[in-house]
Amino acid sequence: MTPAPFVRRVHHFDDEPELIRWIPNTLYRRYRRHHRDWIVAPNFEERDDRTTFTLHPHGPETQPWKIEYRFYSTTKDFDEHFEEQSQRGDFALMDLMVFNAERQMVPEGQSRFEKARAALGKERVYFLTAYPLELKQATPDEAYLIFKPPNAQRIVDLIIDNLYFKQS
């Protein structure tokens, strides 16, 4: 009998989730291309708020790794669900600027960035922004700042490095 999966999540706060849905697809395709034996059966599932797939890096009878890419498209969604769904070892990408209820761009990602860092650890949270000049005093080190549009290779490499090589 296969043991319960080892779950890791990527938490992505962005008010335009339709523009970032390519990321979990690209991640899955990378594993399919380079580690075909890790995919025991097709298991890619997309829902409105998340995409999940399972990998078996140590063989089909060992503990699988369930990867869940969780989208938070509103500050309300993030504030209500991030804490209960996050755990040490997860990874986060946080958009800085989002549209508020009045359709104005506001830096709502700043406080969520700090909340994610407190929950996951400083080295596991990255800003993803097209507005770097809007960053305030809590500006992350340049190494934790990714400009939009992001480079697909860099994003996927970053996720892989943080989900597996820095397990806690």
Domain containing 35 — which CATH number? 3.40.50.2300
In a domain, 90, yes or no: yes
Contact call for residues 146 and 155 (beta carbons, < 8 A)? yes
The 10s digit of each residue's pLDDT in 15-41 is: 888 888 999 999 999 999 999 888 887
Structural domain including 30 reads 6-164
- Counted domains in the chain: 1
In a domain, 67, yes or no: yes
The 10s digit of each residue's pLDDT in 143-161 is: 788 888 888 999 999 998 8
* pTM (whole model) above 0.75: yes
Reading phi first (left if > 0) and then psi (alpha if -120 to 50, else beta), residue 162 is in alpha
Contact call for residues 81 and 114 (beta carbons, < 8 A)? no
In a domain, 1, yes or no: no
In a domain, 105, yes or no: yes
